[in-house]
Amino acid sequence: MADAMRRSASRDDAANFFVSYTCSDQGWAEWIAWQLEDAGYSVRVQAWDFGPGAHFVDEMHKAASAERTIAILSAAYHESPYAAAEWQAAWRSDPDGNHRRLLVFRIEDCEMTGLLGQLVAVDLFGTDEDGAKCRLLDAVRNGRRKPSVPPVFPGTSRPAKRPVFPGGISPTGFGATPTRPHGTVDSFSSGSSETEALFAGGQLFAEQDDRAQAEQLWRRAAAQGHTGAMNNLANLLYAQRQVRQAHEWYREAAERGNVDAMGNLANLLQAARRVSDAEQWWHRAAEAGNTDSMYNLAIMLDKARRYDEALVWYRRAAEADHTDAMHNLAIRLRYRGQLEEASTWWDRSGHKRAQRASEKLRGPVSHKQSR
């Protein structure tokens, strides 16, 4: 209800936020304004609210009466006298920062000088869109930033089986090759009812796009040995480009028998050009029945021109109802002149038209969540 009231507030009312920016950064200003309004805040931003025929000075006066000002800091913003007037108005109304009336978001690696240098800024660059959104919405919240769930105990929050290669990706493909028997299922893949509750809670927060809370719960469940939480936590870290930490959790879950993690680890190793190691993990997951890994393994073998082997895994994935595998299998069978079987798989993959000689193979499946 409160969010709806904020969204429907009149443009003449004092907004929750005024977004101050220079013209070269308008894209950032609109992105920030959209995220804030989508979260239920009211916003004034020149690109949307200063219409044709409006008096610019009067509109700026209304904008300056917002509860808080967001300064989008860049090198160009530093050089703009108009931008300086906007953030200085917010500074004068709250010089000691007790009411957090001026929030600074850096959109590039620029120096903070003068009075702005005394403020704690938030960087929106150096991360993906989801990470930037989390940083933005976390920063605008008033009050303490105490999480709603207990933090993970730092002594057990990460796997500690092996030291991490300090250069990032090790020359041997993130460590030794897998040694567990194919298809092994770890007895600690799901633990106590408390661990399962933490995992399920993380799922709910992830479905609501609250990734910070999902990460907290999955870290706690992972620390207690839940391999599904390890895999999903690794997916979050990978999306944030924390590849080293993602690898640790993928590897831990994979070695405990989580087939989703095996496939995801193989994807990561393939991206790091550790093809041999990736093949072993895809093969292991495929033998355990993971259809996405069967399909990705087939694509890797196909690209390596190991066509007979690729055909085996395309067929196994297709027989397990993997639609993309059916598509690729049909194309490869047509190349071999097996037109009748190719037509059967083409139809089963959902195509409503006849297969043409120019059809393209579909690409690999990306990182998969544990459910």
C-alpha of 338 from chain center:
42
Average pLDDT over residues 88-96: 80
Domain membership of residue 32 (yes or no) is yes
Say whether pLDDT at 9 is over 70: no
Residue 346: domain span? 303-371
Helix (H, G, I), strand (E, B) or coil at 335: helix
- Is 82 inside a domain boundary? yes
Determine the pLDDT at residue 323: 93
Q: Estimate to the nearest angstrom the gap between the alpha carbon of 121 and the chain centroid.
A: 22
What are the C-alpha distances in Å from 194 to residues 117, 224, 369?
45, 10, 20
Token readout for 335 is: 């190349």
Kindly calculate the radius of gyration of the chain based on its CA atoms and give it in whole angstroms: 26
User: Quick one: average pLDDT of 196-210?
Assistant: 88
For 101, the token pair is 């009336």
Q: Report which of 81, 85, 87, 19 is spatially closest to residue 50, judged by C-alpha positions.
A: 19
Q: Does the pLDDT of residue 176 top 70, yes or no?
A: no
Distance CA 15, CA 355 (A): 57
Q: What is the pLDDT of residues 21-37, one digit of tens each?
A: 988 899 999 999 999 99
**Does residue 309 form part of some domain?**
yes
Domain count, the chain: 3
Beta bridge partners of 104: 71
How far apart are the C-alpha atoms of 165 and 171, rounded to whole Å? 9
- 35 in a domain, yes or no? yes
d(CA 67, CA 94) in angstroms, rounded, equals 11
Instruction: Give residue 368's pLDDT band: very low, low, confident or very high (50, 70, 90).
Output: confident
What is the DSSP track for 52-67?
Answer: TT--HHHHHHHHHTSS
Which pLDDT value is given to residue 209?
A: 85
- Render pLDDT for 290-343 as a digit per residue (tens, 0 to 9): 999 999 999 999 999 999 999 999 999 999 999 999 999 999 999 899 999 999
Are 330 and 364 within one domain? yes
- pLDDT of residue 350 exceeding 90, the answer is yes
Q: Are residues 50 and 178 in the same domain?
A: no
User: Can you give the CATH number for the domain in which 236 is found?
Assistant: 1.25.40.10
Give the span between the Cα atoms of 348 and 294, in whole angstroms.
Answer: 18
Q: What is the predicted pLDDT for the residue at 150?
A: 62
Residue 230, pLDDT > 90, answer yes
89 & 51 share domain: yes
Arithmetic mean of pLDDT, 184-193: 46
Same domain, 284 and 333: no
pLDDT at residue 4 is higher than 50: no
Residue 182 lies in a domain: yes
Q: What is the pLDDT of residue 207?
A: 87
Residues 56 and 178 both lie in one domain: no
Residues 308 and 285 in one domain: no
Average pLDDT, rounded, for the chain: 80
For the chain, what's the residue count? Answer: 371
Residues 269 and 308 occupy one common structural domain: no
* pLDDT > 90 in the chain, percent: 37
The reply to whether 275 and 178 lie within a common domain is: yes
Tokens of residue 250, six digits: 């993928």
Distance of alpha carbon 291 from alpha carbon 351, whole angstroms = 20
303-307 contacts at long range (C-beta below 8 A, 24 or more positions apart): 304/275, 307/332
For the stretch 117-172, pLDDT in tens is 667 788 898 878 887 888 888 888 877 766 655 665 665 444 444 333 333 343 33
Q: Same domain for 333 and 357?
A: yes
Same domain, 99 and 124: yes
For residue 150, tell me if it sits in a domain: no
Which residue type occupies 171? P
**Pairwise CA distance, residues 130 & 28, whole Å:** 14
Q: Which residue has the higher pLDDT, 276 or 63?
A: 276
Distance separating alpha carbons of residues 28 and 74, to the nearest angstrom: 11
Contact 287, 183 (CB under 8 A): yes
Report the CATH number at residue 80.
Answer: 3.40.50.10140
